[in-house]
Each structure stands twice: as C-alpha cells, then as structure tokens.
Structure 1
Amino acid sequence: MNKTSGRLVGLLCMGGLIGLLAACGPSSEQPSETSTSEMAPMTAEMPPARSEPAPLTEDADADAADIADMQEAYTADTEEEHSEAEEEHHEGEAHHEHAGGEAHVHGAAELAVTQEDNFITISVDAPLANFGLSEATKKKDADFEQYAEGLTELLGDAKCDLVERSAAIRRNGDHAAMTLSIVWDCRRPSRLDGLMFTGFDLYPGFEKVSSVYLGDGKQIAATLTSASPFLPFSQ
C-alpha cells in the first residue's frame, strides 16, 4: 500500500468515527408544535367563585319601616274609630238615657189616647227639657199638673168635660221625664174627630211626638210634628 492509499483510509476512518459520535450524542431536535401544544399547562382562568349575596340590610330596613308605618296607620284608624264610637255613645247617653225603661230623647215625646165608654184618657210622656224645664228640678209632681193645660185639644162636637189631670215625674241620674194625664168625660164620644197636639205652639222644645189612638176596636198610629199635629180617631 502506497502512502496515498494509507492517507485515504485514515480519512475514511476518521469520518466514520465523527459520524458515530454525532449519532450517539444528545438530540438537538425541538419538540413539534403538536407535542408542545399537548403538554402546555392549563393556563385558562377558572371562573370566579360565586360571591355571597350582599346582606339585604337596606331592603329589610325599608320593609320593616313600611310594616311599622302600616301598623301605626292601622292603630291610628282603630283608635279614631273607637274614639268616634265612644263619642257617639256618650252623645247617645246624653240624649237617650233610659227613664223607667223608655228612651229619653230631648225633643221627642209619646202620646197615647184611649177611649173606654165615654171616657177619653190622654197620656203625654216627655223629658222636662221639652217644656223648657231644668231636669235637675226638685219640685213635687203636683207642681207640674199645670203643664197639661193647653197641651192637647179634642176636636169634634162630643160635649166633653174635664174630669182630672195629673203629673208624675221620673228621674234617672241627671235626667228627668214627666208623664201628664188628662181624663175627659164625653157625652157623645162617637162625634170625636181626633186630637190636636197644641204643645208644639206652647213649647218649642217639642219636635216629634209618636202617637197612638186605641178605642172602639181600632188602633191608629201617627207621628206628629209641628207641620202635622193632628191624630185622627178614624180612617
């Protein structure tokens, strides 16, 4: 072998050695994009945790205030209604006190006319205030008989004579009422037309008189006023 051939063989051996070393060394290749994508860490942000609802302090306070206002308004209305009812009750007591079990109403009165044979009995029951009298008076019953005079008038040609008249006072607390009775003896009672309540002219305190006539199998009722003061004995 000549020198040239020996030199060529040496170069070839050296080249093979270099190639072997290169194959056995660490790889210099970069990972593919796919691998990189698959191995990439999960960097997406997690959704924020659900926040706790804010305390409903303002709404609760507003609701409580509304409820308090409603309760206060209801209480006020109830008290007002109670006050009005109590006031009406006291007014009713002032004008509707019971005397002898009958309603005591200033301005009102009751009139009853009964006929038995020839006798006509007239009874008028009213508060003393209707006559312009103090209900605190301490006078005796006989002192009030005079108020029966001119209080009523029988109409018709019955030829009636006065038999008697009387007064009876009933007291209940601060109130007092009077019952006046007038008895007539009529010779011709069939000719009676009726009764005129003339008390409206004598005593302005009279406003309304509930009246009834009982006689000869008849009963006639009427409410008398200053505009309509006549009670008929027949219909």
Structure 2
Amino acid sequence: MNKTSGRGAGLLCVGGLLALLAACNPSSEHISQEASSAEMAPMTAEMPDARGAPSAMEDAIHDETADMHDTHSEDHSEEHSDAEAEHHDHAGGEAHVHGTAELAVTQEDNFITINVDAPLANFGLSEATKKKDTDFEQYAEGLTELMGDARCDLVERSAAIRRNGDHAALTLSIVWDCRRPSRLDGLMFTGFDLYPGFEKVSSVFLGADKQTSATLTPASPFLPLSQ
C-alpha cells in the first residue's frame, strides 16, 4: 500500500468514528436545550404578575380621589351651616315666619295692656319700608277688641318697628283703663278680618291670679280672660 492510500484510509476511519460517536450520543442536543431552559426558568419565576396587586400609582390616585370627596363633603357642610347662620342672623335670633304673630295680654290693677308682635308682611306692608314708628300706630286700631262689660277707656297706643337685615317686624301696644276689670270676659283678635296676612297668633294672658294661653286662628279668634 502506498502513502496516499494509507492516509485516505485513516481519514475514513476518523470520519466513521465521529459518526459512531454522534449516533451513540443523541442526547447531547437535548441536554443543551434543557440547560438553556433551566437558565431561563429562574428569570421567568422572578417576573411579577402584571394583573396582581394595584401599583403604587393606582393607590395614590385612589387616595387623592377619596381626599377630594371628603373635602367636597366638608365644604358642602360648611356652606349649609353658613346659610343657616345667616338666616338666624337676619331673624335676630327670633322666629320670623310670615302669617304668624304673638299676642300678650297683661292685667295690673285696672290696666289692661295688649302687645301684638308680627312681621310687617302680615299687615300687607313691605319689609323695606322706611316709615317712622309713629306712622305705624294706626295699625293698632281695630286689631283687638275687649269683650265684656268692663267699661274700659283707651289710654294710649304705640308702635315700634324692628329691622334686622332684610326682615322687619312691628310691635303694637294698646293700654286700656277698665273701671270694672272683673267683668272682662276675653279678647277678640279682629286682626284676622282686617289683615288676611294673619294666619295664626300665639296668645297668652297674665293676670293677678290667672294665666291662660291659646293659639288663635280665623276660625277661633277668642282668648278667654275671665275666671
């Protein structure tokens, strides 16, 4: 055999040996793939789930929205309280309801004093009027009538207007001198007939040995004063 033939035979032997090793070791490629998968597995496990807990930004947005809602509720409550306080201030701390009035009748010896307090609107007057107190004395005439044979003479009539903001109320006073006060039966509030603006009058009588109270209406305008 010459050298060329021997070198070719050697190459054939080496090629056959490599082929035999490849055939006998088919798992080499599989092992490489498993190794690659093993290297990627920890990375996959460490990646967070995007659908999990809300992000810090979402929490911040939620907290800010809640704070804005609380602030709006507080502002609304303050506005409501301010509106109530303003109405209270306008009314001067007293009830100011159109259609209502207060009547007080007192007896001291032979003198009967009648006080009526009501909004100007009850008399059909504007609460923005600029008239003086003396201009309102005429509204005391015919507002009440004493019932019974007490033989009373008129002593005086007076008026006083109170203004507070947009509201105005009128207090009328009538004083009678009765020669026989024991024969006084009661008082009729005739203002219901004169001024339709009157709807309800809270009344009270304070005597030497008797006190009575009643709510007068157009259907029931009488306040009893007798025993």
- 8 Å Cα contact 2:183/2:226 also seen in 1: no
Q: 1:13-162 residue pairs with structure 2 within 5 A?
A: 48-49=41-42, 51=46, 53-54=48-49, 59-60=54-55, 61-94=57-90, 96-97=91-92, 103-162=95-154
1:70/1:151 CA distance change after superposition, 3 Å: same
In the TM superposition, residue 93 of structure 1 has moved relative to its aligned partner by: 4.1
1:148/1:89 CA distance change after superposition, 3 Å: same
Task: From the two aligned structures, give the one with the greater helix fraction.
Answer: 2
Task: Report the equivalent of 1:28.
Answer: none
Task: Report the equivalent of 1:10.
Answer: none
In the TM superposition, residue 145 of structure 1 has moved relative to its aligned partner by: 1.3
Of 199, 205, 211, which residue of structure 2 is paired with 1:207? 199
- 8 Å Cα contact 1:97/1:105 also seen in 2: no
Of 169, 180, 185, which residue of structure 2 is paired with 1:188? 180
In the TM superposition, residue 126 of structure 1 has moved relative to its aligned partner by: 2.1
* TM-score normalised over the length of structure 1: 0.65
In the TM superposition, residue 122 of structure 1 has moved relative to its aligned partner by: 0.6
**Gaps (5+ residues) in structure 2?**
1-30
* TM-score normalised over the length of structure 2: 0.67
Q: Give me the CA root mean square deviation.
A: 3.1
Q: Percent identity?
A: 67
Once residues 126 and 55 of structure 1 are traced to their aligned partners in structure 2, the CA distance between those partners, rounded to angstroms, is: 73
Of 166, 185, 189, which residue of structure 2 is paired with 1:197? 189
1:203/1:93 CA distance change after superposition, 3 Å: farther
In the TM superposition, residue 103 of structure 1 has moved relative to its aligned partner by: 4.7
Larger radius of gyration: 1
Once residues 71 and 228 of structure 1 are traced to their aligned partners in structure 2, the CA distance between those partners, rounded to angstroms, is: 57
**Gaps (5+ residues) in structure 1?**
1-42
1:231 aligns with 2:209: no
Of 157, 160, 165, which residue of structure 1 is paired with 2:157? 165
